[in-house]
Structure 1
Amino acid sequence: MPMNPGDIEDMIKAGIPGAKVTIRDLAGDGDHYAAEVVAEAFRGKTRVQQHQMVYDALKGHMGGTLHALALQTSAPA
């Protein structure tokens, strides 16, 4: 069952408080999304650590109900 983009956004915001999240459906199939996540919590962390924080916020949905997620992460400018 595909994930709703609003659910993805809500999960990321719940797991990374204060994050600004933008979700785009890449294929129109509910399985392939792009997410841009900007959060102060990312400051001083490597890109890998930032992405791991997003995956943790998705609570195991990545690779299951959420097939693909292209991530762009950063700390606020």
Structure 2
Amino acid sequence: MNTGERDRWTCGGSGRRGQALAYAVGAREILRLRERARTELGPRFRAADYHDRVLNAGAVPLHVLDLVVDLWIRGDDAG
């Protein structure tokens, strides 16, 4: 890996420090929540429904996304 590539993924210049880390943490959390939904819903789980719920939540903190998915699993969400 050349210096430019390294810098792109670790620093990214001012204002983007930590972007790759934030992306990775978010991706792992989304996958963890999907697996939890799959386990708890069993045969009722549909990946498309899960993805719709996550995308419709918008840009929210991960603890809020956890609540959104939890409410969806319980059937207490507003749709």
TM-score bin, normalised by smaller chain: 0.3 to 0.5
* TM-score between both structures, scaled by the size of structure 1: 0.35
* TM-score between both structures, scaled by the size of structure 2: 0.34
Richer in helix (by share): 2
Which of structures 1 and 2 has the bigger CA Rg?
2
